[in-house]
A and B are shown apart, each in its own frame.
Chain A
Amino acid sequence: EDQVTQSPEALRLQEGESSSLNCSYTVSGLRGLFWYRQDPGKGPEFLFTLYSAGEEKEKERLKATLTKKESFLHITAPKPEDSATYLCAVQQDSGYSTLTFGKGTMLLVSP
């Protein structure tokens, strides 16, 4: 069974204080690893898909990296508007597999 574990559960940063969120996964054949952002009262919003170990993707202050066992979401010089829950999900490389999500990391960035 696919498993996704995210750490920490919650993270509080000062504005400008860089940090990383971790997503450890086990899946029998990875098709893709996905990062989403979820704001309170809203649906998850797509950020990145990573397909193979060594791949990196960037968007503004966010950079996602992937190894064979985990992914990191690096947040550089965060701003208060980066406050949200960040969700990691994996998709198995077989047939009609769906996304299996972790429980998320709740990030709070204080001014």
Chain B
Amino acid sequence: DTAVSQTPKYLVTQMGNDKSIKCEQNLGHDTMYWYKQDSKKFLKIMFSYNNKELIINETVPNRFSPKSPDKAHLNLHINSLELGDSAVYFCASSQGPRGGYTFGSGTRLTVV
């Protein structure tokens, strides 16, 4: 069983479209994250949720809207996609904000 699973693995879409990425973890963790890895492989935090509550929102455009229906799921919706949104998006989870992170395998988003 995959601990942190993301879907889809690949996403190719046109500029201006709206898309969603889903993440689920079966570790029983209560904290989940979205990270963005750019073309230079730099991983940067976007959002953090603890028990379905948004606790960290880094300077991310408001076209990005995370949603956590329960503590096992954290989805990312992106409106009006731009070329610069092309990247790999990683979901991660931890037991509390101080626990070790377990990452998903990533979603490669390509905006054309």
Interface residues in B48-103 by Cβ distance below 8 A to A read 48, 50, 55-56, 90, 92, 97-98, 100-103
**How many whole Å from B86's CB to the nearest CB in chain A?**
16
Q: By the criterion CB–CB under 8 Å, are A96 and B50 in contact? A: yes
Most buried by B among A31, A36, A43, A96: A43
Taking CB atoms, residues of chain B closer than 8 Å to A89 are 43
Binding site for A on B (CB under 8 A): 4, 33, 40-45, 48, 50, 55-56, 90, 92, 97-98, 100-106
Q: How many residues of A contact B (CB 8 A)?
A: 24
**How many whole Å from B5's CB to the nearest CB in chain A?**
11
Please tell me which one of the listed residues B41, B56, B103, B104 contacts residue A98 in the complex, with CB atoms under 8 A apart. Answer: B56
A104 to B43, alpha carbons, bound, how many Å? 9
Q: Give the 6 A-B residue pairs with the shortest CB-CB distance, closest first.
A: A43-B103, A101-B43, A96-B97, A98-B45, A96-B55, A44-B103
A91 to B33, alpha carbons, bound, how many Å? 14
Q: By the criterion CB–CB under 8 Å, are B100 and A98 in contact? A: no
A60 to B87, alpha carbons, bound, how many Å? 33
Closest to A32 in B: B98
